[in-house]
Chain A
Amino acid sequence: MKPAPFRYVRPQTRMEAMEALARYGEDAKVLAGGQSLVPLMNLRLARPKVLVDINRVAELGTLERRDGVLILGALVRHRQVERDVRVTEACPILSRAAAHIGFPAVRNRGTVGGSLAHADPAAELGCVLLATGAVVVLESTDGRREVPIEDLFVGPYTTCIRPEELLVEVRVPVFGETTRWGFAEFTRHEGGFALALAACVLHLDGQGRVAAARVAVGGAGPVPVRLREAEQVLQGAPLSEERVAEAASFACAVEGYDDVHAPAWYRQRLAGWLVRRVLQQAVGEEM
């Protein structure tokens, strides 16, 4: 099957892209890596009237580290997140997670902005960025707003991004000397979407106690979620077997969904097991 006809617009600058979105409104869709949008169009599940191809907007493809923040342009490809030393040094959890997105050919095209805007509940980046406390920057001809990643996802494949808005970049706090992290997912086959995944980022104080913790679970339910109760359990003390077990128990209570791949209870149990794994990774041999 072939995509339905559409009008193709290829802006060269961010401003031109935003003007095109403002002009065509709901009729338009941004085309980034195309790794989610084009399959939907090939199956005619999506029939946008206008495609705004942002691939030639060089300013959206930049990657930089400034004032303790790693700034990933919307067009940075998963392959670069996986390999660029600036990412592996500043936020290694991102590189680890990006290596699990689909296959090499998919990672060569798929983009950070596209993954977040598409909001697949099982996407690696959404879950991991939730654990890092990232901020997403959205821009339109009316102005700019910064959205904490917690507020981005409102449902499966649904975000708070308005039709005339462009996701321009993601800002991720750079990891420090005392930052510990873990990432794990369960899939049935290499490159497949995860049945559940988990990520954690912990900041330790001078005494090895957890000063701040963020734990996130994805794939189990409609949106990736932070486990705030688990974070509270971890806070203020060194990680111990007991605390890890208690924190992980909260993951079994996340909202889970049933589909052909697995029932909700299975995903919840998986989430509990994965949270345990990522916390153990975070402390390494120290525990």
Chain B
Amino acid sequence: MDRISIALSVNGKPYQLAVEPRRLLADVLRRDLGFTGVHLGCEHGVCGACTVLLDGEVVRSCLMFAVQADGYEILTVEGLNTSGELHPVQRAFIEEFGFQCGFCTPGMILSAYRLLQEHPNPSEYEIRRALAGNLCRCTGYVDIVRSVQRAAVLLTQREAYRAP
């Protein structure tokens, strides 16, 4: 099968590669580029484990072909702590026991990260609505919601600390 060359930016770094058109973005990120934080659960759009940000917006990486991402910027969970320090959303999930097995966690964290960019102080309902497309088979969601609430506080504190 013919391969097509594409250029992607993942977590701020440029990548050039040649892919078969049928390769899903999720598989290219996970297998070809080693971003194993991209998890594959259902592979038909229902579970949200494969969530990544495409030019800043959440998408299912199992429902896009990598050739379609040519020229786009992608953020995976690995891109949240490039400085070596955990991102406040990641810290909040640890502090509030927002995960158990961790399978759903990258998708949860990226969905929460995007929600908090838009709504720095979301209501519980807004949190539940934003995460409704991310299934977790372990936690029962209560601790996840609490983690996002905690993340909102941590992010606000960080902003306050940074303000001149």
Binding site for B on A (CB under 8 A): 1-8, 10, 31, 34-35, 38-39, 42-43, 51, 53, 55, 79, 102-106, 108-109, 189-191
Q: Is the interface of B mostly helix, strand, loop or mixed?
A: mixed
Q: How far is the CA of A8 from the CA of B65 in the complex (A)?
A: 10
Nearest chain A CB to B43's CB is how many angstroms away?
5
Q: How far is the CA of A29 from the CA of B129 in the complex (A)?
A: 33
Q: How far is the CA of A34 from the CA of B59 in the complex (A)?
A: 11
Interface size class, chain B: 20 to 34
Interface pair B44/A109, CB less than 8 Å apart:
no
Residues on A with beta carbons closer than 8 Å to the beta carbon of B24: 2-3, 38, 42
Interface pair A34/B22, CB less than 8 Å apart:
no
Interface pair B21/A7, CB less than 8 Å apart:
yes
Interface pair B21/A104, CB less than 8 Å apart:
no
Interface pair B60/A109, CB less than 8 Å apart:
yes
Interface pair A190/B129, CB less than 8 Å apart:
yes
Q: How far is the CA of A35 from the CA of B133 in the complex (A)?
A: 13
Residues on A with beta carbons closer than 8 Å to the beta carbon of B18: none
Residues on B with beta carbons closer than 8 Å to the beta carbon of A51: 21
With contacts A1-B43, A8-B21 taken as known, whether A191 is within 8 angstroms of B63 at the C-beta atoms is no
Chain A residue at minimal CB-CB distance from B70: A10
Interface pair A55/B20, CB less than 8 Å apart:
no
Please, could you name 29 A-B residue pairs with CB atoms under 8 Å apart, sorted by A? A1-B43, A2-B22, A2-B24, A3-B22, A5-B1, A5-B21, A5-B22, A6-B22, A7-B2, A34-B63, A35-B63, A38-B65, A39-B43, A39-B44, A51-B21, A53-B65, A55-B68, A102-B45, A104-B114, A104-B130, A105-B48, A105-B51, A105-B60, A105-B111, A106-B45, A106-B60, A108-B57, A109-B64, A190-B129
Chain A residue at minimal CB-CB distance from B129: A190
